[in-house]
Structure 1
Amino acid sequence: MNEPLAERLRPKKLQDYVSQKHLVGENGALTKSLEHGLIPSMIFWGPPGTGKTTLANIIATQSGRPFYTLSAISSGVKEVREVIEKAKQSGGLFTTKNPILFIDEIHRFSKSQQDSLLQAVEKGWVTLIGATTENPSFEVISALLSRCQVYILNAFEKKDLETLLNRAIKHDEFLAKKNITLKETAALLRLSGGDGRKLLNVFELIVSTFEDDKKIVITDAVVLDKVQNNTVRYDKTGEQHYDIISAFIKSIRGSDPNGAVYWLARMIEGGEDIKFIARRLLISASEDIGNANPTALVIANNTFQAVSTIGFPESRIILSQCATYLACSPKSNAAYMAINEAQQKVRETGDLSVPLTIRNAPTKLMKELGYGENYKYAHNYENNFAEQEFLPNEIKNTTFYKPGNNARENAHREFLKQRWKDKYNY
């Protein structure tokens, strides 16, 4: 039994695929494409273990197309061109059965490697399916991205993960022979982090520690005990990526530069993409520090530009400087909370009308209809301020931005109080 449980349970048909109903449900985008036999080039974007590779295999099988696969970690331009030549011979221009070329971790391809795919995709020699855990807007060149549909895969929900576990117990040829009772699942689900493959790997590890003739009762305590006692084997799955980046960001948020540098070192020693780390620093600079220290975002952005230019190993110093600076900065999530609350209000209230006073009035008709009428141009008033309503009437006086308790945002609070009096009286 050398094949991992996750591989043994890999579904072969769309009907057996767990989760992603927005793509593979009855009215899902991919379901419709397969029904009509029209398979566009596409990028699957989502966390590890959400079924990107499985979905590519199913598409190829159900559409009856030749299937070629490459990993961006181990393949270069030479391998890409060789596969494209094979695909051209097995498929062909303007055929409905042109081969599928699946590239795992396409975000790791350089610009020149991605450029080598362009002609094949444009000419229809292959249908490209790329899988990535990174935002393709940043990692896939625009020329290639414009020729692909981007489909987002979500982390598995609790019911999806429990479905996988029950399917493993009932249908796996090895586990079905064992006497397994799944009494508790909370620890398993927490350890999985929404990653189906990781869940099955951990589950198989735990089951393997029991003697074959013994009844196996899975509880949260058993799971935590078995995993802790098999740390090395557990870590060999190589899926600590998100756990460590989480620890890194939380160390910065918690103002601990020692923790931040340690987890940074873990990522660097593990071969993590330095641009991935720099992007997370950019997010933290805005989400966790924000207006408490606006310079943090400037430094984080400069860090991203610097590591993109310099590369490894020198970039480790730049990343360390930025991480320690952010950790030592005052913290505020006020801007982050403000946009969350504003988006929630938009979802609740829909497309409310822009007040007439602040509408644009480029034509005579618009002016006659009252667009821009009674608008007060702030610069014409004392202190460059004139009190007026900028929100739709239905939600006027709603507060989204609440300045944090730090030197800079205390100044923001005082400024708003002076201008708006009671409206911004926090």
Structure 2
Amino acid sequence: MNRTPGEPLGLARFCWVSTFVLLGMMCLFQALNFFKNADMDFRIYYDASMALRTGQDMFAAWNPDSPLTYIYPPFLAILFIPLTLLPLEVAAAVWTVISMILLLGCLWIGAREIMTRFDGAQDLATLPVIILIATLLSLPRIKAEIDQGQVDYLVLMGIIGSLALLRRHPFLAGVVLGLVANIKYQTVIFVPLIIIRGWWSTLFGFILGSIGVAFFGAFVLGWDVNLAYLTESFSSLVLLFGGEPPADAGPMVLPLDWVDSVSLSSTFARWSNVLEWGSGGTYLMIGVSAVLCLGIGWSIYLLTGVSLFHERGGERGRTSARFQGLIALEWIGLLVAVLAFAPQTKMRHLAILVPLMILSAQFLVVKRGSVHRLPLLLATIFCALAMVLPLETVSETFIMGPRETWRANGGVIIPILGMYFVALWVGCRWVQNTSQSQQ
């Protein structure tokens, strides 16, 4: 059947409308729910900001119904201070709208950036199709993120924005990563890649951005108070990986074997407890699995004939058209690694896998010569099912129920890693085929 000129426009409209309706309705319903009850994770940030505004302890447990406290540097709490001028319920509803706008920005910028780096079709219909598919794949996790009033899309916007800036504005890309590191610590994982690649202006931007933003709080809180808060918040990193808590009060940090964490690190900590291997056994399993993942990734580069190090350093490695797709693959790989090996990864944290879903969607939608798409399709379907199945559950924790048991023992993270490695294979194959065709 011959395609009529109106078909791409109609498809584009359908995808845009579907995406906006799905996310808009989710935003509306959750904002209305917050007007009734805003006693979710958002309250942790709200209470910390209110404490800063009133000169009280930011790390205290201000919610009488929950022992959870704020654990991050003061920058995020400072950003939330304007919201404390509103009642809690209204502030939560406003933040819901802001979060959804941030998500739409992540989808738009992320899809355009990934498609550009892989020379994907920038036509009328392809972009909205990819955005809709990525949204559908991420929908359960988006709902979990929005329901809690969390801030992960603020972090994700910085990660995607830094990737978009990296080629032409490397210093600004580093500044953005450094800024986001003062909200949550995930962007620190990009530093080793930046050093290995020799992107020194990006590294300098990261250092300047992270230190500058960290001490920005001194203008709001005073030097001594800001420094004390920074010290306490950074001490939480030690506690996250099983360190001993200090004698004095500070941010409440849950243990590495926390039952709600689905990361491999937490899985291994729970296994180590059962096997009575202690913390040494936990770190051994984490190290072995990390080396295994690095080995799989390196093997994919070798088998596809793609350069992992040769000519990848310095300005050439950052700006050459040959390596743009590889940089996107590695950027997303580090994002996956953060979730896989973090000391605390709840199911809602998987909401920041939007770039992985965009990557998979654009490989599935845009045909790329001899690169087979069926393995990636199967891996994507399995990963999506792994996040929602088994449906049967009888407990809100991992103590009982098949869903909790599945998630507590790597049932979610391992399929995510599998999906990423298949996407890495497809991406490297495409990069190699493109390089050969251009020679």
Calculate the TM-score normalised by the size of structure 1. 0.27
Which is greater in Rg?
1
Calculate the TM-score normalised by the size of structure 2. 0.26
More strand by share: 1
More helix by share: 2
